[in-house]
Chains A and B, each alone.
Chain A
Amino acid sequence: MLFVHSSLITEPDEETGHVGDRIGRSRGLAIDGLSASFDNARPSKWRRLVQRSKLSHLPILAIIPARNERATVGDIVGDVKSCVGCCVLVVDDASTDGTPEAAQAAGARVLRLTNRLGAWGATQAGMRYAQRHGYRTVVTLDADGQHHPLELPQLLAVHRDSSANVVIGTCSERLSNAKRLAAGYFRLITGIDVQDFTSGLRVYDWRAIRTLASREASLLDYQDLGVLMLLRKKGLTLKETPARMSPRRTGGSRVFSSWLMVARYMMHTTVLCFAQVGARPRIGQRVRGVRSSS
């Protein structure tokens, strides 16, 4: 019953939210902070429960969606394997340059999509694989070399130690002004306080995997706000953490490549946002969420 009360207390705070620009002052952390103060009132029992539940998340799957990334995918698979030691799944989005062979040679499992489904379609295939094979934690990263596998252990540790369902790795130095502006705009209309909402460097727990493997998530196009809004609708919590990234070794951003694409993307996502208005989690859902994560 105490859990129910704690979640009811956190509810209004989440409504007001923090609008700070500092990394980590996301809604997920706002809840974190409260559960931490709750933790102080009842020493360590709550924390231990959270820890124990997080330990059961151990089987980790790294999902790397790849389309025509033969030059980099092999190195990244190798690095992830040596840094985290987890199973690596490369989802080949109908490449034409031999990406799946390169990934397989580097020791990854490979899903080969027969039709091009886009970045999110490929990632979701990985999510469904993870759900089917009972992985409790999923890490996603891009195949183009902008995410360092060296950052993964730290990201996983943040995920393990916090009660957030999803941890997003953000590189604030790398954010362009256009992206900051877009983030501010979307924060205004959705209330999701995430700096880098297009970051593909994320850790998901099993509840997030279950949500994202569902039919509801199949018509999304990017691993971005649509995904975050769906997660929030299901009462899951987000947390951002700083991570080092480098410029892409090959190719440019698919979304922010030209102004026309940006305009199209912004309109598309705005419609998505308005379609989700009023889709906040009901209190009942949230209570259930807090219970099952404890």
Chain B
Amino acid sequence: MTPPITAAIIGIVLAGTILLLVRRDHLHGSFALWWFAIAVAILVLGLFPPVIDWLGSVTGIYYPPILPIVIGIGMILIRLLKMDIDRSRSERQMRRLTQKLAILEQELREARDLLNIGKPEKSPAENTLADNANSQRAIGGR
């Protein structure tokens, strides 16, 4: 019986990559947990393929090699669904933030107009320049 060297290599490389990413903090929170579990599952299946046959006999599946594929596709579907849910949530947040930003911007503009009544017109750039000059003078004075 030849050792299942290909499956083992694939399993180790995939699991190693995921673990590395999790360790480097590229994935956070629940994502890290999910991918950690996936990595462990791949590692176990890659190193000990008979597990699949055992699982098949336990669950009564006639052709066990199909089992990891079905489970894998199921996992991918769940993951995709979760991604779309998350995308909808962030879309909602993005829309509300955009609206809030516009409202605050309008209020800020109005407040600025009120404050500027009776003062000489200055462009924002000139204002910043003047402020900079003032702060420089203040620093120089000390």
Select one of A111, A114, A117, A219 contacting B106, CB under 8 A.
A111
Contact A215/B96 with A110-B106, A114-B101, A129-B106 known, Cβ cut-off 8 Å: yes
Q: Is the CB of A109 within 8 A of B98?
A: no
A238 on the interface (CB 8 Å rule)?
no
Name B96's closest neighbour in chain A (CB-CB): A218
Contacts of A57 in B (CB 8 A): none
B79 on the interface (CB 8 Å rule)?
no
Q: Is the CB of A113 within 8 A of B106?
A: no
A114-154: contact bitstring with B at CB < 8 Å (1 yes, 0 no)? Answer: 11010001001100110010000000000000000000000
Select one of B91, B92, B94, B105 contacting A112, CB under 8 A.
B105
B99 on the interface (CB 8 Å rule)?
yes
Contacts of A121 in B (CB 8 A): 95, 98-99
A173-194: contact bitstring with B at CB < 8 Å (1 yes, 0 no)? Answer: 0000000000000000000000
**Min distance, Cβ B50 to any Cβ of chain A, angstroms:** 46
Q: Is the CB of A215 within 8 A of B92?
A: yes
Q: Is the CB of A129 within 8 A of B98?
A: no
Contacts of B100 in A (CB 8 A): 128
Contact A117/B99 with A109-B106, A112-B105, A129-B106 known, Cβ cut-off 8 Å: yes
B80 on the interface (CB 8 Å rule)?
no
Contacts of A91 in B (CB 8 A): 102
Interface size of A by CB at 8 A reads 18
Taken together as a complex, chains A and B put the C-alpha atoms of A218 and B92 apart, in Å, by 6
Select one of B88, B98, B110 contacting A219, CB under 8 A.
B88
Q: Is the CB of B103 within 8 A of A129?
A: yes
Contacts of B96 in A (CB 8 A): 215, 218
Taken together as a complex, chains A and B put the C-alpha atoms of A111 and B106 apart, in Å, by 6
B89-132: contact bitstring with A at CB < 8 Å (1 yes, 0 no)? Answer: 00110111011111101100010000000000000000000000
**Min distance, Cβ A78 to any Cβ of chain B, angstroms:** 20
Q: Which of B95, B96, B105, B106 has its CB near the most chain A CB atoms (within 10 A)?
A: B95
- Pick 25 A–B contacts, CB within 8 A, sort by A: A109-B106, A109-B110, A110-B106, A111-B99, A111-B102, A111-B103, A111-B106, A112-B102, A112-B106, A113-B98, A113-B99, A114-B98, A114-B101, A115-B98, A117-B95, A117-B98, A117-B99, A124-B99, A128-B99, A128-B103, A129-B103, A129-B106, A215-B96, A218-B95, A219-B91
- CB within 8 Å of B: which residues of A? 91, 109-115, 117, 121, 124-125, 128-129, 132, 215, 218-219
